[in-house]
Amino acid sequence: MTSRAADGVPTKPTGSLEGEHRSRSRLLLAASGRFFFRLRNGLFPAVFVILFLVTRPAYFLGAPALDRLIVAIGIATALAGASFRMAVIGYAYIRRGGKDGRIFADRLVVQGFYAHTRNPMYVGNFLITVGMGLIYGSVWVYVLVIPFFAFAYLSIVVAEETYLRARFGSEFEAYASRVNRFLPDFRGLRGSLREFRFDWRKALRKDYGTLSGVLAGILFVIQWKEFYYRGFEFRSRDLLPLSLFVPVLVFYTVVRRLKKTRRLVSR
């Protein structure tokens, strides 16, 4: 029923107003998502660079002993995110590069991990972000950086889903109705993956850069934190993270070489 304001002028039904608000919010998110999608390769690393330039690392709640536990949790979270990305790519993978700087998909992938969350790659990315934030420890990570990435990933997903809904129609609607947008539901995962053979060559070929970046980032933040609080004492124990950059660099170089020489082509 149409309601009337105090002056007698008819107003829109409450449900209509709520629907209009949701529609406007979705349009704004989709527009933001298209912006972030075009700039994501440069914008997201830039956020971390700015973070390191204008803030300083910190012990969690100012307690070094507690911080060691939080750093361990952060490392595990970041590595879980990177591992999850590689697992997704090794089974059933959606190309997220778009086309000409725009969102694009030539098919709707609903197999593998995509049968349990619609956006497993973004789940992995967000775990990496949270993990790196826990290691760094600055309060600015919690109040600005993590919320920024949460908003950016949500808006990109809304933009992608707007595209998928327009392109695949009822097929996407049925998929969205049975699979969560983010929160994975791993029930039946073994059956979903049974139809695939894990392609470790594809996983390495597609995501060695991300894995190397996560490993190097973890080592860099830990070493920077050590230097910030302990000074440049150059004790062997304090320089352990720095020394581990060498195997990470070797890993990156070897895998890149294998990719360039086409020795990581899937069989």
**pTM of the shown model:** 0.86
Q: Look at residue 161 in the predicted model and tell me its pLDDT.
A: 94
For 11, the enclosing helix (H) or strand (E) is strand 10-11
Q: Look at residue 7 in the predicted model and tell me its pLDDT.
A: 45
Give the integer Cα–Cα distance in Å for 158 and 27: 9
Q: Look at residue 160 in the predicted model and tell me its pLDDT.
A: 94
Give the integer Cα–Cα distance in Å for 173 and 160: 13
Give the integer Cα–Cα distance in Å for 132 and 262: 32
Closest CA to 71 of 241, 249, 236, 239: 241
Q: Look at residue 9 in the predicted model and tell me its pLDDT.
A: 44
Tell me the average confidence (pLDDT) per consecutive run of 10 residues in the chain, 267 residues long.
46 56 80 89 84 89 92 97 95 65 84 94 95 93 93 95 94 96 94 90 94 94 86 62 89 96 91
Amino acid at 26: R
Q: Look at residue 256 in the predicted model and tell me its pLDDT.
A: 97
CA angle, 183 then 107 then 84, to 5°: 35
Q: Look at residue 243 in the predicted model and tell me its pLDDT.
A: 83
